[in-house]
Amino acid sequence: MQGRLSRPQNDKIQSFPVNNWEQEFELAAEIGYVCIEWIIDSDCIDINPLFSVSERKTIESMSERYNVSIPAVCHDQLMDIPLHSQDDNTAKLAATILHKTMDACESLGIQFIEIPLVGNSTLSDNADHQNLIRQLANFDNKAKQYGINFILETDLPPERNVSLMENMSGLSVGLNFDMGNSAYWGFDSDHELPLIGPWIKNVHVKDCTPKDYTLPLGDGDVDFKKVFTHLKKQKYDGLFILQAAPAAHGKEKDIARQYCQFIQNQIRNYFYEF
């Protein structure tokens, strides 16, 4: 996840690395990462190079130079401006932002736009559900034309995620599975993953407990063996994006390397052999 190789901005867990985004390509390649999930947040939207035609050329150049791809963006801005808002002005602004994001992603060949539906943007009632379905249906032709899939990261129990996906059948929409969030909300992966498995298009690697939202990998309640075994059974064939606890300043590279080795071992043991 972009920003994990840089000093956090304003002490946030996750933010766009304004001063270090170019260097993160080199650092990622050196550590052994093969891709970066790009961050779009409200604080830095005006200077995010994803939305600059000239700077997208730099992004392409850095990606090719270090062989580090950008398959997905994490649209944290849409937590502040929910696409499914029951306020018409907010919903229209979110739709405008998403159109602009799709154009930028299409120009770079980015296939996935992740929409967080947690915190301020949680789906709190049926009206939220219906608004989201209607909005994404309006985007579907463009998504199919561009080869883009929307990935929803929700805080819903697994049964409600299944219902949401069934109501979006035929649309270019899938689910993100964040193993840390699942542990934080107290979901049982033995129950959750067999239910939502068919719709999982992206996986975030994180560790949490119901008390601590993010911890170093291995220090929380995530049962990595169980999670990766279930994902293998579900024939998951997408990415594993490390979204683990940020490191202390100056330790970003060392901690990122430790996380990379930790998760490679988990995947090797329980998912497939390198």
Summarised one tens digit per residue, pLDDT across range 73-129 is: 999 999 999 999 999 999 999 999 999 999 999 999 999 999 999 988 999 999 999
Q: What is the pTM of this model?
A: 0.95
What is the domain partition of the chain in residue ranges? Answer: 9-270
> Considering the domain 9-270 in this protein, what is its CATH number?
3.20.20.150
Residue 99: count of CB within 10 angstroms of its CB: 13
Given a contact cutoff of 8 angstroms between Cβ atoms, the answer to whether 14 and 42 are in contact is no
- Check whether 274 has a pLDDT greater than 50: no
Please, what is the end-to-end C-alpha distance for the chain in angstroms? 22
Instruction: Please tell me the distance from the alpha carbon of residue 124 to that of residue 141, in angstroms, as a whole number.
Output: 27
pLDDT, greater one: 135 or 14: 135
Amino acid, single-letter form, for residue 181: N
State which amino acid sits at residue 166: E
DSSP annotation of 178: E
C-alpha 254, offset from chain centre:
23
Which pLDDT score, from 0 to 100, does residue 273 have? 59
Give the integer Cα–Cα distance in Å for 123 and 184. 18
Which pLDDT score is estimated for 249? Answer: 86
pLDDT at 43: 85
